[in-house]
Structure 1
Amino acid sequence: MKQSFILLMIVVLAFSVQAQSPASSPTPSLQGEERRFLMDYLKRSRQMMHDAVRDVTAEQWTFKPKPFRWSVAECAEHIILTERWLMSEFAAKFGKGDEPAYIFHWRKPKPKASEETLAERRSIDLFIVNDLLDRSKVDTSIPSNAPPEASVIPAGKYRTPEEMLKDFDKQRDETIRIIENLKVDWREHYVYSGWSSNRNLYDGYQYLLRIPAHCERHLMQLWEVKRDANYPRPKVS
């Protein structure tokens, strides 16, 4: 998991460094390298999900370190529910090519999009992903004081990892299909969201980055469950 996090930082930071040249000052439409990075991140986080639940037993699947903490099954279900919700919102907000309702800037309110450089956008991309992957402030010894909204709270839908993976792969395939077929300029469309106390306005590309990053965040949570001292261990015959 740490290797994936470090690789992500290197790749995104490299994009930021490349963008410092004067020629890239105006914000252009989504670049091929950004599309490739996003698609690769979606594929890598898919594999991370498969790896995380491989060989998980029925007892391990529903184990909860504490009554208020999620099990492996619940972490996985939350990932699927959130991705489904985010993509339905994305399709509604960006899929029709409508004019954006909000425009943001790192420092100034509602400027023209052309005022923001690609380097500035990419530094925000990095911040958004880092912010999601940072679980250092999560105190697993007490209930969360910021629970997710009701629509993405797991309800025990999946009885087995295999059943969950079937739904997860179906949703991830749909996510990729929507992204591949979008014709609008993701960098020129914006959305307001209260996801983070640090940021609340995102362009379309940054919105999409949150999908694999959110997946990885809760896979980190899933691994925290698997590392718990009381997590059921395979019986040695």
Structure 2
Amino acid sequence: MLKRSTGRLFLTLMVITGLAGTITDYSVSKPERKYALSLMKETYKDAVKATKGLSEEQLNFKAAPEKWSVKECFYHIAATEKGLWSMLENALKASPNPEKRAEVKVTDEQLVEMIKDRTKKAQAPEPFQPKNISYKNLDEAVDDFKTSRTAHIKYMKTSTEDMRNHVVQMPFGYIDCYQLYLMIGAHSNRHTQQMNEVKADPAFPKE
């Protein structure tokens, strides 16, 4: 009995000191948490602000038939927020895969800038194209976005998840779950830029 208890104590000490495994602690640091929260708060405010004070004609204006309107851009932002979050939740529920960290080739800042870069075009997945998004109106989309983003900001304030040791494969390569969180904020910035481009079009309605 003493031998078994001693063995358990030794194993506990090994776990505490990190000798029992090879997983490095990649939990979110205080500066990382601050950076992520700043990104999420700023991009939320900018996205909502881009739709303020616009008439229905302005919200529905398209620079060309194949282009998106301001309203469609916002629908895409709100719907994709939920889609990316679902991906993040599923990845965190899976077993950690620290062996995949070597496949992550971008820094946090590089990822954010890459997603924000509007010169690099990408096709939105079919479920997240405006024609397939079922919001009744802009107010509904804004409310949904607010609910989602508020919850996502709260998550980062309190989470103790080891986000760095959960790695996911994206079309452009591997990123960890902290970076996937950053991607959510950067994605809304990308399409906020798109909304502002629509508003800057010479043919955009005056009112």
Q: How many angstroms does 1:135 deviate by? A: 1.5
Deviation per residue, 1:38-78 (Å, 9 max, x gap): 11211111110121111011101111110000000110011
Does residue 213 (structure 1) correspond to residue 196 (structure 2)? The answer is no
What is the root-mean-square deviation of aligned Cα atoms in Å? 2.3
Which residue is equivalent to 2:72?
A: 74
Q: Which amino acid aligns with 2:206?
A: R
Which residue is equivalent to 2:165?
A: 188
Q: Which amino acid aligns with 2:63?
A: P
| Structure 2 gaps, min length 5 | 1-23
Q: How many angstroms does 1:124 deviate by? A: 1.0
Runs of 4+ in 1 over 4 A off after TM superposition: none
Q: 1:202 aligns with which of 168, 172, 175?
A: 175
Q: 2:156 aligns with which of 166, 179, 189?
A: 179
Q: How many angstroms does 1:100 deviate by? A: 2.2
1:116-135 to structure 2, matched below 5 A, reads 124-135=107-118
Distance 1:30 1:129, change over 3 A: same
Q: Secondary structure of the equivalent of 1:103?
A: helix
Higher helix share: 2
d(CA) in 2 for partners of 1:89, 1:180:
19
| Structure 1 gaps, min length 5 | 1-25, 111-120, 139-145
d(CA) in 2 for partners of 1:154, 1:160:
12
TM-score where L is the length of structure 2: 0.79
Deviation per residue, 1:160-215 (Å, 9 max, x gap): 44332111101112322443453321112111111x3xxx1001111111011000
Distance 1:98 1:179, change over 3 A: farther
1:1-237 to structure 2, matched below 5 A, reads 28-94=26-92, 96=93, 98-100=95-97, 103-105=100-102, 124-138=107-121, 146-155=122-131, 157-158=134-135, 160-194=137-171, 196=172, 200-234=173-207
